[in-house]
């Protein structure tokens, strides 16, 4: 067991184990091995604070949730040495295996994932067990920035101008751009230089390793009419290899970005892991938040906040906690036995991006699980060689405005992103998505059995019109809330999703994909067999089955002006009707932005921290 004490030896040993297990075809053992290594290998450099911390009875600020937003906010508020800040996280520390981008699929199977599931649906998630989509969320220091696929986008400038048009003063593109630049530490060489941030804590880079499939994708997309460009720059419509929240082929989580540099330097910042906040304490008479209740160390603790409680628990946990605390739709709260303090539309406006992947075969080499066990890489191991730095096999993305194809600078409604492997490339993928065995066997087992090269294109809806809801199941904080995704409730979402599939398939007609002999994998979904393959009706059946979440849950504590009956927080992120209580995470988004929201959540956190400092008179 000596290697357990040697972090630099962990991944070569892991690769050797995987090699042996792959040859033996013992998938369950492989998964158990990953879980063992995940649980056993803590990166000492990322263990910023001693978890034997005895919390004080009172702090200036209490930040609930050490995810993408929470780590950033706690770090920024503790810049004032006169303020004491407590950051609470329900999960544990990061481990070494979480640093390795290629194993992103496996992380969804471990204890760092809340493992939420949507309620059953008869119009979406039809390929998943019990018609329920798995909804991963990070339960770990760094939150979902530790679980995600590290795909970095800002969205479109019109997204933020739209937020401002909805009455959210200070959230237009010109207002938020400085915060994007503040946190970005980009070394993307061809980024639009006047817009990119170079010196921030969140590292952004290209992945060194690229497959021939990714090269073919870029060629085909450009042959279709899009330009190769910085899609985080002036014009989003275009194609490029992924910008990723990585540096030197290492995941750059919020924890790593904001808290690691503070190790041993911020005595006024306390971090407590394995700490589940069960309630925000609110005086029902004055309607003022004054602290929290938290379960940790085997008992319940009451911690007071002199200034504010800031909830950054994400678009599922944030509305759950607010409702448990008496903040939410009054009728629903009464139905579950909670006395409402303020009647707000908490839990409504739930949004997500879905992407019904299409599979293609090719004569180019695609990713296979045994690639991680290449003995040549073991012998000269280094994450920058081979596929280790590839974020779950994701390699490139392109943005289209399908409704206005004539516009060079449109507002994209579809993103296509490429994964250089298939559902059968990795034993974790189908398990992470929760695919029914009959679906997997009929659709993908042949690819595995014949060891075919295959890849996937995910057509992601960027501006869905359907809205779901988070509701309480119980007054017990440890009971998961009810998640109603409401996917495809609006016909627009079905239409744009099908058109995205058709756009993805059309790319095989261009020379770029012809060079690698890309062909649509035409095995039919068993429950769609009565429909002619390749027709619009068939692809509608396809999208209703493969309703893959891209983990972008947002909107459940909507930001809006006082005139908006659906608003939960004002444009300064203060909860309506409650003093000293704010929300800062993806749940405040009035409308989901046109891209992957991890970057925009960093922006929200940076802006929130500045607003809090302003409101409490701190000038830097």
Residue 374 confidence (pLDDT): 52
pLDDT value at residue 461: 98
pLDDT: which is higher, 36 or 520: 520
pLDDT of residue 18: 43
pLDDT category of residue 377 using cuts at 50, 70 and 90? very low
Say what the pLDDT of residue 368 is: 75
The rounded distance, in Å, linking the Cα atoms of 213 and 460 is 19
For residue 49, what pLDDT is reported? 53
Cβ contacts of 191 within 8 Å, gap of 6 or more: 230, 232, 233, 243
Q: Is the pLDDT of residue 120 over 70?
A: yes
Question: What sign for the dihedral angle of Cα 599, 208, 364, 398?
Answer: positive
**pLDDT by residue (tens digit) across 562-608?**
999 999 999 999 999 999 999 999 999 999 999 999 999 999 999 99
pLDDT tops 60 at residue 340: yes
Distance CA 230, CA 596 (A): 15
- Average pLDDT of the chain? 91
* pLDDT, position 62: 99
Mean pLDDT computed over 304-325: 98
Q: Dihedrals φ, ψ of 213, to 5°?
A: -65, -40
Report residue 16's pLDDT band, with 50, 70 and 90 as the boundaries: very low
Predicted local distance difference test score (pLDDT) of residue 37: 41
Instruction: Tell me 148's DSSP state.
Output: S
Give the SS3 label for residue 455.
strand
Give the span between the Cα atoms of 142 and 390, in whole angstroms.
20
**Is the confidence at residue 293, as pLDDT, over 60?**
yes
**Number of neighbouring beta carbons within 10 Å of residue 28:** 9
pLDDT band per the 50, 70, 90 thresholds, residue 264: confident
Say whether pLDDT at 369 is over 70: no
The edge-to-edge listing of strands for the beta sheet with 358-361 is 238-241, 394-400, 414-419, 454-461, 358-361, 519-520
Q: Three-class SS string for 329-385? A: CHHHHHHHCCCCCEECCCCCCEECCECCCEEEECCCCCCCHHHHHCHHHHHCCCCCC
pLDDT at 381 > cutoff 50: no
pLDDT tens digits, residue range 27-78?
443 444 444 444 444 444 445 455 567 899 999 999 999 999 999 999 999 9
Q: Which of 344-348, 529-533, 587-591 has the lowest mean pLDDT?
A: 529-533
Residue 50: which of 108, 98, 104, 93 has the closest Cα?
93
* Closest by CA position to 167, among listed 572, 619, 453: 572
318 versus 383: which is more confidently predicted?
Answer: 318
Beta carbons of 587 and 319 less than 8 angstroms apart: yes
277 is in an annotated binding site: yes
Residues in the chain: 620
DSSP 29-77: HHHHHHHHHHHH-B-GGG--S-TT----SEEEEEEE--SHHHHHHHHHH
Q: CB-hemisphere CA count at 13 Å for 325? A: 29
Residue 2 has pLDDT above 60, yes or no: no
Catalytic residues: 552, 596
Cβ neighbours of 22 (radius 10 Å): 18
Calculate the alpha carbon distances from 433 to 64, 108, 224, 556 in Å: 28, 9, 31, 23
Residue 140 labelled as part of a binding site = yes
| pTM of the complete model beyond 0.85 | yes
For residue 79, what pLDDT is reported? 98
pLDDT > 70 fraction of the chain, expressed in percent and rounded: 89
As a whole number of Å, the CA-based R_g of the chain is 23
Specify burial of residue 375 (Cβ count, 10 A radius: 0-12, 13-18, 19+).
exposed
CB within 8 Å of 456: residues ≥ 6 apart: 357, 358, 359, 360, 418, 419, 421, 422, 423
CA-CA distance, 414 to 118, in Å (whole number)? 24
CA distances from 131 to 118, 127, 446, 487, 544 (A): 9, 7, 24, 12, 10
What tokens appear for 5 in the block?
């004490």
Instruction: Note whether 487 and 124 are within 8 A (CB).
Output: yes
Kindly report, residue by residue over 206-225, the tens digit of the pLDDT: 998 899 999 999 999 999 99
Chain position carrying tokens 């080499």 = 365
> Cβ(326)–Cβ(419) under 8 Å?
no
Given a cut of 50, whether residue 489 has pLDDT beyond it is yes
151-162 pLDDT, tens per residue? 999 999 999 999
Phi and psi, residue 204, nearest 5°: -130, 130
| Whole-angstrom distance, CA of residue 410 vs CA of residue 403 | 9
Structure-token pair, residue 489 = 């409730």
Residue 9 has pLDDT above 60, yes or no: no
Confidence at residue 52, expressed as pLDDT on a 0 to 100 scale? 67
pLDDT band of residue 389 (cuts 50, 70, 90) is confident
What confidence score (pLDDT) does residue 425 get?
Answer: 81
Q: What is the pLDDT of residue 373?
A: 53
In this predicted structure, the answer to whether residue 415 has a pLDDT above a threshold of 50 is yes
Query: Percentage of the chain with pLDDT > 90?
Result: 81
pLDDT of residue 1: 32
Greatest Cα pair distance, the chain, in angstroms, is 71
Q: Summarize the confidence of residues 420-426 as an average pLDDT.
A: 87
Confidence of residue 430 (pLDDT cuts 50, 70, 90): confident
- Per-residue pLDDT at 4 exceeds 60: no
Q: Which residues contact 129 (CB under 8 A, 6 or more apart)?
A: 434, 435, 436
Residue 619: per-residue pLDDT: 79
Return all residues near 356 (Cβ < 8 A) that are at least 6 apart.
458, 459, 497, 500, 501, 542, 543, 545, 546, 547, 548
Residue 142: which pLDDT band, with cuts at 50, 70 and 90?
very high
Answer yes or no: are the C-beta atoms of 146 and 565 closer than 8 Å.
no
């Amino acid at each position: 067991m000596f290697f357990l004490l040697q972090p630099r030896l962990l991944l070569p040993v892991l690769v050797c184990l995987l090699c042996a297990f792959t040859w033996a075809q013992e998938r369950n053992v492989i998964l158990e091995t990953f879980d063992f290594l995940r649980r056993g290998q803590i990166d000492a450099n990322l263990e910023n604070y001693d978890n034997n911390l005895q919390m004080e009875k009172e702090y200036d600020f209490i930040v609930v949730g050490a995810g993408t937003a929470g780590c950033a906010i706690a770090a920024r508020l503790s810049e004032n040495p006169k303020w004491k800040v407590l950051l609470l996280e329900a999960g544990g520390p990061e481990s070494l295996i979480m640093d390795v981008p290629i194993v992103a699929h496996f992380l969804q199977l471990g204890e760092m994932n809340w493992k939420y599931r949507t309620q059953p649906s008869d119009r979406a998630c039809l390929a998943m067990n019990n018609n329920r989509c798995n909804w991963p969320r990070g339960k770990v220091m760094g939150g979902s920035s530790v679980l995600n696929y590290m795909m970095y986008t800002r969205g479109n400038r019109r997204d933020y101008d739209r937020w401002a048009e909805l009455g959210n003063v200070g959230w237009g593109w010109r207002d938020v751009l400085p915060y994007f630049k503040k946190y970005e530490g980009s070394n993307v060489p061809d980024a639009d230089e006047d817009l990119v941030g170079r010196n921030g804590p969140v590292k952004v880079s290209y992945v060194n390793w690229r497959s021939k499939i990714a090269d073919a994708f870029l060629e085909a997309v450009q042959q279709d009419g899009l330009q190769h460009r910085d899609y985080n720059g002036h014009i989003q419509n275009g194609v490029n290899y992924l910008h990723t929240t990585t540096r030197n082929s290492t995941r750059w989580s919020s924890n790593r970005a904001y808290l690691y540099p503070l190790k041993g330097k911020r005595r006024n910042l306390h971090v407590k892991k394995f700490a589940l906040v069960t309630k925000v304490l609110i005086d029902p008479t004055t309607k003022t938040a004054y602290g929290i209740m938290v379960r940790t160390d085997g008992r319940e603790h009451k911690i007071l906040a002199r200034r504010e409680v800031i909830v950054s628990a994400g678009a599922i946990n944030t509305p759950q906690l607010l409702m448990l605390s008496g903040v939410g739709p009054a009728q629903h709260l009464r139905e579950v036995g909670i006395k409402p303090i303020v009647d707000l539309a908490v839990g409504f406006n739930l949004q997500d991006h879905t992407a019904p992947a299409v599979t293609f075969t090719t004569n180019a080499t695609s990713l296979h699980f045994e690639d991680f066990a290449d003995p040549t890489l073991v012998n000269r191991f280094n994450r920058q060689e081979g596929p280790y730095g590839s974020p779950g096999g994701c390699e490139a993305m392109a943005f289209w405005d399908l409704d206005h194809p004539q516009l060079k600078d449109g507002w994209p409604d579809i993103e296509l992103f490429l994964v250089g492997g298939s559902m059968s490339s990795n034993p974790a993928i189908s398990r992470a998505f929760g695919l029914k065995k009959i679906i997997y066997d009929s659709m993908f087992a042949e690819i595995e059995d014949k060891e075919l090269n295959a890849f996937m294109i995910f057509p992601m809806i960027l501006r869905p019109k359907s809205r779901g809801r988070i509701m309480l199941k119980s007054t017990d904080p440890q009971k998961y809330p009810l998640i109603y995704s409401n996917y495809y409730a609006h016909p627009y979402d079905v239409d744009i999703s099908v058109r995205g599939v058709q756009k993805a398939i059309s790319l095989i007609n261009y020379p770029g994909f012809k060079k690698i002999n890309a062909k649509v994998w035409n095995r039919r979904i068993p429950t769609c067999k009565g429909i002619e393959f390749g027709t619009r009706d068939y692809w509608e059946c396809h999208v209703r089955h493969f309703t893959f979440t891209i983990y972008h849950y947002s909107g459940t504590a909507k930001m809006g002006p006082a005139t908006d009956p659906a608003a939960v927080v004002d444009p300064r992120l203060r909860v309506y009707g409650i003093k000293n209580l704010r929300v800062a995470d993806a749940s405040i988004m009035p409308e989901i932005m046109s891209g992957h929201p991890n970057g925009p959540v960093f922006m929200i956190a940076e802006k929130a921290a500045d607003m809090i400092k302003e409101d409490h008179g701190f000038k830097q």
